[in-house]
Structure 1
């Protein structure tokens, strides 16, 4: 016995027989979906767009060496920002700040059910995605368009703050190293300066080049006077010139400025002077590095480049009410057709079984 075939055209008689029931179901679905669509609140969407920066580029040790802030785009930077934005600490901070327990009607805080409900609603309204231009789009949805914009902007600030905290401790350690180096060089400079002053007093050297010219001129002058006195036979004048020359050049000379002490202290003075100049240059640089790093740390350089802040939406993003009504009508019609088709098939199979059952006794009686 060949099986019965079915087609879409064969459904029309079935629908026609059940048209009143199908029409009633469709009308009821249209009415109910209209009521539901009208009762649904308008949802507004606000979006902030920003680029992350590499946190290493904001460290003082790189900035003082001429480093520049680097625009984000690395996968690790993007993943880090998205992870921070979706973290529970960031969510709890905004929930408490904007009193979302009351706004979402989740109940009093402290209860597990309330905590789960408000976190679920918050995460449902939040969207953080990496777009095709390597930027991050942070979107927040809410019935209150002003609140949606404020929460989106506030979450961007929270992400920036948490992202800075990740490297803040290291930056403070770097600042401490700059301070330690500056203090060390300042102490070394002061000690070297005192050593130089003591050496000047010990050797009587206060200006190497000037004193060298003075002593050479005096030695030449005294020797000339000594030779003239000896030539003229003036013993007293010769003896005075000789004593003056001995005081200026002799090892036991009593002059404050003595040639032997000058020669002895010349090397030490040169060493102390070179050491002091080197420490002075390093000290000036260390002080500048420390001040720059301190200003950098106090300035709290943002780790995000904000391209577009979130603004209150000018129109709702959902619900699309006509789509809800049309979708409900189409689904109801499809379900109704499937049900009446199954019912028709069931009734047809029942009638076939009854006819087969009545034919068997008739055949038996004829035999």
Structure 2
């Protein structure tokens, strides 16, 4: 025997015969869903929006470049690796555990004391289900946290942003310290070299009696010319020839007794010139090295942020969920559908059984 066929049109009489039962089931579902929906707590959503930067642009060696457009400037454009790095940091377990500990979420989620594997896993799972960090279509990061306490949700979201920023900075902190140490060593080396060269220059000036090139040269030339003229005049008669000869010898010979004399001046001018140029060069490099070291030290101590915060998280002014009306309507529709299916199967069973008894 062929089985009877049913259509949607045929459901009308079936529903009509069972309408009181179906209506009762739907009403009961509505009542239960209303009670459940009213008992569900309000959940609030807080979202922070930020744009990550390339942390390498905060390195002292880059900040000290001669290009003024590069110096001290963080790149706003988000690269794919920057976005992935920030999301990976945000989803890491150490960050989650830090937030859980900071806000005592064991107590907030009423999970008990930490230390037990089941309790730890429950709190971590609950935290993960309420937390999300995604890359939106505008190349920014949206960090969202859900909680029954709207103030706690905003506080957790903002703290997460600061933690991510801090960890992101730590990625290049060691490199920054290495660069700073190189600047310190360079400054110390130049400072030592400058002091040594300055002492060598002072020793050369004392040794050769050279304290000024132009004025001293003019002074000696003038004195030598005047002394020679006086000597020639004295040799003609009427002058102290011996005294003038000693004076001329003192001006021209190193063993003449004068501190400033032509022979020492000629012998030492090259050495003093070389030491003077060396000291001047070291002085300029020392000043530049000192400036570079101070700037690099300030850069590290300044803790330049590795993100641009577009929008901080604020306490929500309205709930995010639950949608109580949708819960009630959905439960009523589901109950109605299941009731219709149940009575249809029941009618089909009765029809088949009646035909089987007639055939017997």
TM > 0.5 between the two?
A: yes
Q: 1:99 aligns with which of 92, 104, 108?
A: 104
Residue 252 of structure 1 aligns to a residue whose secondary structure is: helix
The 2-side partners of 1:5 and 1:296 are apart by 82
Count of residue correspondences:
355
2:333 pairs with 1:330 = yes
The 2-side partners of 1:264 and 1:349 are apart by 131
Residue 324 of structure 1 aligns to a residue whose secondary structure is: helix
Identify the residue that residue 190 of structure 1 maps to in structure 2.
195
Identify the residue that residue 26 of structure 2 maps to in structure 1.
26
Q: Is the CA contact 1:178–1:289 (under 8 Å) kept in the aligned structure 2?
A: yes
Q: State how 1:79-228 maps to structure 2 within 5 Å.
A: 79-228=84-233
The CA RMSD measured in Å over matched residues stands at: 1.6
Structure 1-normalised TM-score? 0.93
Q: 2:280 aligns with which of 274, 277, 301?
A: 277
Shift of 1:335: 1.4
The 2-side partners of 1:302 and 1:290 are apart by 21
Identify the residue that residue 77 of structure 1 maps to in structure 2.
82
Shift of 1:301: 1.3
Larger radius of gyration: 1
Shift of 1:251: 5.1
Name structure 1 gaps, 5 residues minimum: 359-367
The 2-side partners of 1:341 and 1:202 are apart by 121
Q: 1:233 aligns with which of 220, 230, 237?
A: 237
Q: Is the CA contact 1:72–1:78 (under 8 Å) kept in the aligned structure 2?
A: no
Identify the residue that residue 260 of structure 1 maps to in structure 2.
263
Shift of 1:263: 0.8
Shift of 1:62: 1.4
Identify the residue that residue 58 of structure 1 maps to in structure 2.
58
Q: 1:315 aligns with which of 314, 318, 323?
A: 318
Name structure 2 gaps, 5 residues minimum: 66-70
The 1-side partners of 2:330 and 2:173 are apart by 53
The 1-side partners of 2:63 and 2:104 are apart by 40
Structure 2-normalised TM-score? 0.94
The 2-side partners of 1:349 and 1:200 are apart by 126
The 2-side partners of 1:92 and 1:2 are apart by 65
The 1-side partners of 2:254 and 2:18 are apart by 136
Identify the residue that residue 361 of structure 1 maps to in structure 2.
none
The 2-side partners of 1:297 and 1:29 are apart by 63
Shift of 1:266: 0.6
